[in-house]
């Protein structure tokens, strides 16, 4: 247009018809466009802008000149032409998951320092959130679709990282660079997102068997399939009662493998991914170090006490080997949350087993009709403790974990993207942590104290009861019992004194246990307004000692 104007002026000049007034007249059509271009160039130069900012500047100036059709048309045409190079970068990202941006003009940045391996190693790994991120300058015509564009390329990039050379199928007339000014690129981007999302989800679900791995983790770390655990606790007991630093992890691993091969777990194709480990700290200490967990407000300011003498049973945990891209869902953070729940359940199982051993001792003493007042008192306390820990385990497994798992499972079946899968999985874990009382220091402290009382009682009951006359469950003791009448009067008096001492010890355990149980009531009642699930827990626990 400018050159046409110059040619027209030259022609008029050669004809001798060009005057100053004519010159001004012929220049008028180019004055405003050149002035507008001058403004654009000066603003771009002054701010040293590139990429998205240039496109936004052209579009904003076009809006400013909305009243001047000629200038507006010129700026819109410039904006459209300048967008073509930009759209080529965008096209490779949303169709191939590749950033081809040699001059750093694209609105998505890549942090190459973040590697996918960190997902399985670092609790605070930010690979999925920060490997690719949005810059501040985004073209205004793509602003509403920026998150979709970012996510689409991320999905395609994951598949490329898995060795799948995948590209969004697109017709020639749907390419972003072929989109005219009368058609917005949002439709193309949406179609690319739907393809990438579905392809990645199918890849992780079908080829990498995400649901199968989640089920295996549920079997082992949430104790859904407990036969292997019973066998493992039997054969590993001698090792687990040692101090953590004295325990051989390699020996525990071989015992775990033996337990898995000897039970129904051997049919699980993922059982070889299960490993054991000894944590550096107990459950209570680990909870206090994880600052991102949302601790219950009703429990803020409460410090949990560490046990003085720690044994392997309190720091033992299981882990699970996870490979890319399943590690997007089952990350180090997710596995840590599974391990926290496992440690709590595992210790409850240990307490339950110890109390069951004590109960069997009482039942053995009943057979030869030895249930004097000592056995009766101790038997009642043992039954209440056993009922308490069994009720707690039932609540944790059947009232919290199982229904929450089914809800998550159903949601995962209808999820449309891997981000939805991650969101549902994280929600499941956080819900289990909260309702298993691990995020409530007041209740956790109370339960840990009651479990400690149960363990102390189960440990003491063996020598307390057997010391009341050398009583055990041997057949020879039946013979000894039948000859009790032959004992001297002084022996009988000594036995009576011992019985009274034993009864006092048992009654002391009973008082402490009942006091702790009664003190749970006000805590559960006050917390149920904020956490409704505590009402259900109270129904299970507070009825233990009423009979």
Q: Tell me the pTM.
A: 0.84
Q: Is 14 exposed, middle or buried (0-12, 13-18, 19+ CB in 10 A)?
A: exposed
> Which tokens hold the place of 495?
């036995």
Q: Supply the DSSP symbol for 207.
A: I
Average pLDDT, consecutive stretches of 10 residues, N- to C-terminus, the chain (547 residues): 90 90 88 91 91 90 86 89 88 90 91 90 90 91 91 93 77 54 70 92 94 94 85 91 90 92 86 90 85 62 61 91 94 95 94 91 62 73 92 93 96 95 96 92 90 90 61 40 40 53 83 89 80 81 61
CB 90 within 8 A of CB 106: yes
Q: Percentage helix, strand, coil, to 5, in the chain? A: 70, 5, 25
> Which tokens hold the place of 325?
């891209």
Supply the pLDDT for residue 300: 46
Q: How far apart are the C-alpha atoms of 94 and 190, rounded to whole Å?
A: 10
**Using DSSP, how many helices (H) and how many strands (E) does the chain show?**
21, 4
From residue 104, give the alpha-carbon distance in Å to each of 37, 41, 52, 118.
Answer: 25, 20, 10, 26
According to DSSP, the residues that pair with 399 across neighbouring strands are none
DSSP per position, 18-72: --HHHHHHHHHHHHHHHHHHHHHHHHHHHHT--THHHHHHHHHHHHHTTT-HHHH
How is the chain split into domains, by residue range? 88-208, 210-295+308-469+494-542
Three-state DSSP state, 400: helix
Supply the pLDDT for residue 67: 83
Residue 318: closest CA among 300, 295, 344: 344
Supply the pLDDT for residue 183: 52
Supply the pLDDT for residue 1: 84
Query: In CATH, what number does 210-295+308-469+494-542 get?
Result: 1.20.120.1900
Please list the alpha-helical segments (H only) found in 65-103: 69-96
* In the block, residue with structure tokens 């043992």: 382
> Which tokens hold the place of 244?
């953590």
Q: Would you tell me how many other CB atoms lie within 10 Å of the CB of residue 322?
A: 21
Residue 396: closest CA among 212, 226, 211, 522: 226
């Amino acid at each position: 247009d400018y050159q046409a104007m110059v040619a027209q002026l030259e022609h008029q000049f050669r004809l001798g018809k060009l005057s100053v007034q004519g010159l001004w007249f012929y220049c008028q059509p180019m004055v405003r466009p050149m002035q507008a271009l001058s403004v654009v160039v000066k603003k771009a130069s002054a701010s040293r802008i590139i990429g998205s900012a240039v496109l936004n500047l052209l579009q904003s100036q076009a809006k400013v000149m909305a009243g001047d059709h000629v200038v507006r048309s010129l700026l819109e045409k410039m904006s459209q032409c300048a967008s073509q190079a930009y759209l080529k970068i965008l096209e490779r990202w949303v169709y191939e998951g590749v950033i081809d941006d040699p001059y750093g003009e694209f609105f998505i940045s890549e942090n190459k320092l973040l590697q996918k391996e960190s997902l399985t190693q670092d609790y605070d790994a930010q690979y999925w959130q920060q490997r690719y991120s949005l810059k501040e300058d985004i073209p205004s015509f793509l602003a509403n679709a920026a998150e979709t564009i970012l996510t689409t390329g991320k999905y395609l990039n994951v598949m490329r990282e898995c060795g799948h050379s995948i590209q969004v199928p697109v017709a020639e007339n749907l390419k972003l660079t072929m989109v005219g000014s009368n058609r917005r690129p949002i439709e193309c981007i949406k179609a690319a997102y739907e393809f990438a999302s579905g392809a990645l989800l199918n890849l992780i679900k079908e080829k990498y068997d995400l649901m199968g791995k989640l089920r295996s983790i549920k079997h082992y770390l949430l104790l859904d399939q407990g036969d292997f655990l019973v066998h493992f606790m039997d054969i590993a007991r001698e090792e687990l009662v040692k101090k953590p630093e004295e325990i051989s992890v390699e020996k525990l691993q071989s015992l775990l493998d033996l337990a898995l091969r000897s039970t129904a777990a051997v049919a699980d194709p993922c059982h070889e991914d299960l490993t054991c480990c000894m944590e550096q700290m107990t459950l209570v200490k680990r909870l206090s170090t994880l600052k991102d967990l949302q601790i219950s407000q009703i429990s803020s300011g409460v410090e949990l006490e560490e046990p003085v003498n720690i044994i392997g049973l309190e720091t033992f945990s299981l882990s699970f080997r996870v490979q890319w891209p399943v590690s997007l869902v089952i990350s180090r953070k997710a596995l840590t949350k599974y391990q926290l729940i496992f440690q709590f359940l595992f210790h409850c199982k240990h307490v339950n087993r110890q109390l069951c051993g004590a109960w069997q001792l009482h039942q053995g003493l009943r057979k030869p009709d030895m249930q004097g007042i000592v056995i009766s008192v101790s038997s009642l306390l043992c039954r209440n403790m056993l009922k308490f820990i069994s009720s707690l385990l039932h609540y944790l497994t059947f009232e919290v974990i199982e229904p929450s798992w089914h809800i998550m499972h159903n949601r995962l079946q209808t999820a449309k993207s891997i981000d939805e899968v991650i969101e549902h999985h994280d929600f499941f874990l956080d819900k289990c942590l909260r309702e298993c009382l691990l995020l409530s220091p007041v209740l956790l402290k109370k339960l840990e104290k009651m479990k400690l009382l149960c363990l102390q009682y189960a440990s003491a009951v063996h020598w307390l009861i057997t010391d009341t006359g050398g009583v055990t469950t041997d057949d020879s003791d039946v013979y000894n019992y039948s000859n009790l009448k032959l004992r001297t009067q002084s022996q009988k008096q000594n036995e009576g004194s011992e019985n009274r001492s034993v009864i006092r010890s048992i009654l002391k355990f009973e008082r402490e246990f009942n006091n702790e149980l009664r003190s749970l009531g006000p805590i559960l009642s006050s917390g149920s307004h904020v956490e409704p699930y505590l009402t259900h827990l109270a129904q299970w626990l507070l009825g233990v000692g009423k009979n």
